[in-house]
Amino acid sequence: MDRKNPIRVLLAKPGLDGHDLGVKMVALTLKDAGMEVIYLGMRQTPDNIVRAAIQEDVDIIGLSNLSASLVPMGQAVMQRLQAEKIEIPVLYGGIILKPDREKLLAAGISETFGPGTMMADIIAAIERLVPADKRL
């Protein structure tokens, strides 16, 4: 990774889900891997998330949601991004079963991560989705 231009990651929990352990572990892991992490916190609306992504000029967005609103919230965030014509890759972590994964990928989510995901796989996906020359 280019140390001068660390990858900027926005992490957020859309909806009401309170299971924030996973996203905090991802935040700490990405920081230790040299990335800049902005964690918005929980109970975020899709609007909040997209606004923060613009203001913070991030390279990638990571969403976490372990509750039932997983799919509708993911779709809503993607719709807001597309309405703003913003092309930032979005990752989604949570209890994502196969049919949910298909719906999320169809909505434009770049990659999903289910329970028991190894952190190394998340880092690898970020490095693949954010090419070195695109990093600001």
Partner 1 sequence: MYTKADLERIAAKRQAWESGTLAKMPPRQSTFSTVSGIPIKDIYTPEDVSGVDFLDDLGFPGEYPFTRGAYAPMNRGRPWTVRQVVGVGTARETNERHKFVMKEGQTGMSNDFDVPTCIGMDSDHPLAAGEVGRVGVAIDSLADMEALYDGISLEKANHSFTINHPTPAILGMFVALAEKQGAALEKISGTTQNDPLKECFAMKMFSFPPRASVKLMMDTWEFAAQHLPKWNITNLNGYPTRDSGGTAWHELGLTFASAIEYFDEADKRGLQIDAIAPQISIMWYVHIDFLEEIAKFRAVRRIWAKLLKERYGAKNPKSWKIRMHAQTGGGVYTYQQPENNIVRGTIGGMAAALGGVQSMAIACFDEALSIPSEKAHRLSIRTQQIIRHESGIADVVDPFAGSYFMEWLTNEIEERTWKVMEDVAGKGGMTRCVESGYVDRMLTQEAYKTSCAIESQEKIVVGVNAYVSEAAEEEPEVFRVSSETEQTQLASLRRLKKERSNPAVRKALDALRNAAEANDNVMPMCVAAAKVYATEGEILDALRSVYGEFKPADVV
Interface positions with partner 1 (CB under 8 A):
15-21, 24-25, 27-29, 31, 37, 39, 41-43, 45, 67-73, 95, 97-98, 114-116, 118-120
Q: Give CA–CA dist 32/89, Å, rounded.
A: 21
CB of 66 to partner 1, least distance (A): 10
Tell me how far, at minimum, the Cβ of 23 lies from partner 1, in Å.
8
Q: How far apart are CA 29 and CA 105, in angstroms?
A: 24
Cβ nearer to partner 1, comparing 1 with 119: 119
Can you tell me which residue has the tokens 């880092």?
123
CA 122 to CA 51: how far, in whole Å? 24
Pick the closer one to partner 1 by CB: 43 or 134. 43
- By C-alpha distance, which of 125, 126, 11 is closest to 63? 11
CA distance 134 to 112: 22
Report the nearest approach of partner 1 to the CB of residue 85 (Å).
25
Min dist CB 87 to partner 1, Å, is 26
Q: Which is nearer to partner 1, 20 or 56 (CB)?
A: 20
